[in-house]
């Protein structure tokens, strides 16, 4: 019986899901290869949207992709589970037991054989060992965490509204540690929620009763982006009455507040950590694969791991070098999208005995969305290499197109058009915020 090459992709995030979709449509459909996706969750939500899930401005029921249904349509297999180990000699990956919420084992530990393995498990928050961060901060690494944040946020608003009704002190202090794109966009979404909720029965709660602060250790917000973009974002946050605290490293997080390095204390009933990322810790224990200090798998420019020619890694969990640069590819959604395209070509080439495709990152710019208020950003010129600053409706259009491009990669143009129409109808029929 002829052996069909087995390509296993671990991680159904933005890049991983796009990759298995392309491989399934190209190779799985024609049985040129067997394609399997492994993920610890049952559904996919584009990670850059998690802050909208947290605030309630995005209803996941209309934006989730069920892996099993998607796999059937796009000719790949889906395995539910979390990768916990690797046996390179046997060419097998280990999947941890699947435990239900009641603690019962549903599926025992198992092994999956592979011919080619691709690891795209993304990243988790990096609290840099800050005392109290793990116990007292909320995180937005996963859909489950974003949904938990949303429940706690609604409860906090409800409690504050009741305190106002009783004539008690009722300021709700929310702090966001880290002023990268996620932190800045979350601050704007939370301000929108504070302004919208009184419309839905919380009549005693005013937007001014909700104090939102964003804290950044660097001397400006969005430190990885151009200064003009940072300045515009600062002005917009201040216009929305968000406190912007820069040059303020956090030394401790308590249940009721934050302590700065200089000893200043900031009250905070809800604290969100959005100040950095690292790759999952288990990657450092994968049968001798090379990792850096941030647990990222070290890969060649072809996205091939340095210690195994049949194992690839990309996205936030991989440190990929670039020509003429001493910095690896940045952990951004557009990078994962581009890497998925390059790796798709490489894996198809391999079946035909052709060379791997070196990955070269093209920075198309950055866009920061301030909920329904405005969008600012810079676009990189492909020919001149210069950036062009944009804002307002034009910037918003480009921002929305990023998500639509992701949907096109997963569903095609026709179905994405239908999804877009359904989104329009849903927004017209349902509340502007998810209220449960």
The per-residue pLDDT for 400 is 77
Please indicate, yes or no, if residue 50 is contained in any of the structural domains. yes
Instruction: For residues 341 and 369, state if they share a domain.
Output: no
Short-list 419, 417, 380, 375, CA closest to 399 = 375
Instruction: For residues 370 and 253, state if they share a domain.
Output: no
- At residue 280's C-alpha, the angle toward residues 217 and 256, to 5°, is 45
CATH number of the domain bearing residue 52: 3.50.50.60
Instruction: For residues 113 and 162, state if they share a domain.
Output: no
| Burial class, 148, CB count within 10 angstroms (exposed 0-12 / middle 13-18 / buried 19+) | middle
pTM of the full structure: 0.90
Tokens of 69: 């249904």
The per-residue pLDDT for 381 is 53
Instruction: For residues 143 and 252, state if they share a domain.
Output: yes
Instruction: For residues 65 and 106, state if they share a domain.
Output: yes
The per-residue pLDDT for 203 is 75
- 201, 162 contact by CB (below 8 A): no
The residue among 351, 374, 396 that closes a domain is 351
The per-residue pLDDT for 429 is 64
The residue among 351, 378, 398 that closes a domain is 351
Q: How far apart are CA 239 and CA 370, in angstroms?
A: 11
Question: Which residues is 113 bridged to in the sheet?
Answer: 92
Please indicate, yes or no, if residue 1 is contained in any of the structural domains. no
Please indicate, yes or no, if residue 343 is contained in any of the structural domains. yes
Residue 103 backbone dihedrals phi, psi, to 5 degrees: 90, 5
The residues near 159 (Cβ < 8 Å, ≥ 6 apart) are none
What is the per-residue pLDDT across 220-253, written as a single tens digit (0 to 9) for each?
999 988 888 899 999 999 999 999 999 989 999 9
Please indicate, yes or no, if residue 176 is contained in any of the structural domains. yes
Tokens of 308: 């195994």
pLDDT of the chain along its 436 residues, tens only?
678 999 999 999 999 999 999 999 999 999 999 999 999 999 999 888 898 888 888 777 778 899 999 999 999 999 999 999 999 999 999 999 988 888 888 888 999 999 999 999 999 999 999 999 999 999 999 999 999 999 999 999 889 888 888 878 788 999 999 999 999 999 999 998 888 877 777 778 888 889 999 999 999 999 988 888 899 999 999 999 999 999 989 999 999 999 999 999 999 999 999 998 999 999 999 999 999 999 999 999 999 999 999 999 999 999 999 888 888 998 888 999 999 999 999 999 999 999 999 999 998 888 888 877 788 887 765 444 566 777 777 777 887 788 888 888 898 888 888 888 887 776 666 656 665 6
Short-list 28, 154, 25, 276, CA closest to 8 = 28
Q: How far apart are CA 116 and CA 96, in angstroms?
A: 20
The residues near 117 (Cβ < 8 Å, ≥ 6 apart) are 7, 8, 10, 86, 93, 310, 311, 312
The per-residue pLDDT for 146 is 93
Tokens of 208: 């001014």
The per-residue pLDDT for 21 is 97
The long-range contacts involving 374-383, CB below 8 angstroms and separated by at least 24 positions, are 374/236, 375/399, 376/229, 376/232, 376/233, 376/236, 377/229, 378/225, 378/226, 378/228, 378/229
Based on the structure, what is the number of domains in the chain?
3
What is the per-residue pLDDT across 295-326, written as a single tens digit (0 to 9) for each?
999 999 999 999 999 999 999 999 999 888 88
What is the per-residue pLDDT across 132-150, written as a single tens digit (0 to 9) for each?
999 999 999 999 999 999 9
Instruction: For residues 237 and 107, state if they share a domain.
Output: no
- At residue 354's C-alpha, the angle toward residues 352 and 359, to 5°, is 125
The per-residue pLDDT for 327 is 86
Please indicate, yes or no, if residue 357 is contained in any of the structural domains. no
Please indicate, yes or no, if residue 32 is contained in any of the structural domains. yes
Instruction: For residues 52 and 10, state if they share a domain.
Output: yes
The residues near 378 (Cβ < 8 Å, ≥ 6 apart) are 225, 226, 228, 229, 365, 366, 387, 388, 389, 390
Instruction: For residues 117 and 157, state if they share a domain.
Output: no
Please indicate, yes or no, if residue 356 is contained in any of the structural domains. no
- Domain of residue 421: give its range: 365-429
Q: How far apart are CA 139 and CA 124, in angstroms?
A: 9
């Amino acid at each position: 019986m002829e052996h069909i090459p087995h390509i296993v992709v671990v991680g159904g995030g933005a890049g991983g899901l796009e990759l298995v979709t392309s491989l399934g449509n190209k190779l799985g459909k024609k049985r040129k290869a067997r394609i399997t996706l492994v993920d610890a969750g049952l559904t996919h939500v584009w990670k850059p949207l998690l802050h909208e899930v947290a605030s309630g401005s995005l209803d996941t029921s209309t934006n989730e992709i069920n892996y099993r249904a998607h796999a059937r349509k796009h000719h790949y297999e889906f395995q539910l589970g979390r990768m916990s180990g690797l046996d390179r000699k046997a060419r097998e990956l280990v999947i941890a037991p699947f435990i239900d919420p009641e603690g019962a084992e549903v599926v025992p530990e198992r092994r999956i054989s592979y011919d080619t393995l691709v690891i795209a498990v993304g990243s988790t928050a990096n609290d840099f060992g800050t005392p109290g961060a793990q116990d007292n901060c909320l995180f937005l690494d996963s859909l489950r965490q974003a949904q938990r944040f949303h429940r706690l946020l609604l409860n906090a608003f409800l409690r504050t509204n009741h305190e106002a009704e009783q004539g008690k002190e009722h300021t709700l202090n929310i702090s966001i540690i880290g002023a990268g794109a996620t932190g800045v966009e979350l601050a704007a979404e939370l301000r929108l929620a504070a302004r919208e909720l009184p419309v839905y029965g919380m009549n005693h709660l005013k937007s001014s009763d909700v104090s939102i602060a964003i804290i950044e250790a660097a001397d400006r917000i969005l430190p990885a982006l151009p200064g003009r973009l940072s300045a515009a974002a600062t002005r917009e946050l201040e216009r929305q009455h968000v406190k912007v605290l820069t040059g303020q490293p956090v030394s401790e997080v308590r249940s009721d507040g934050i302590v700065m390095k200089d000893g200043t204390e900031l009250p905070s009933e809800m604290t969100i950590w959005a100040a950095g990322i690292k790759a999952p810790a288990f990657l450092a224990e994968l049968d001798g694969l090379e990792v850096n200090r941030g647990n990222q798998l070290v890969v060649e420019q072809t996205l091939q791991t340095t210690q195994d020619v049949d194992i690839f890694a990309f996205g936030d969990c991989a440190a990929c070098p670039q020509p003429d640069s001493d910095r690896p590819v940045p952990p951004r959604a557009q990078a994962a999208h581009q890497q998925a395209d390059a790796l798709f070509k490489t894996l198809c080439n391999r079946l035909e005995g052709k060379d791997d495709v070196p990955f070269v990152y093209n920075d198309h710019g950055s866009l920061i969305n301030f909920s329904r208020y405005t969008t600012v950003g810079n676009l990189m010129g492909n020919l001149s290499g210069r950036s062009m600053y944009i804002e307002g409706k034009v910037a918003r259009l480009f921002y929305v197109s990023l998500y639509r491009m992701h949907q096109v990669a997963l569903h095609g143009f026709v179905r994405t058009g239908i999804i877009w129409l359904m989104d329009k109808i849903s927004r017209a029929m349902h509340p502007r915020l998810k209220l449960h």
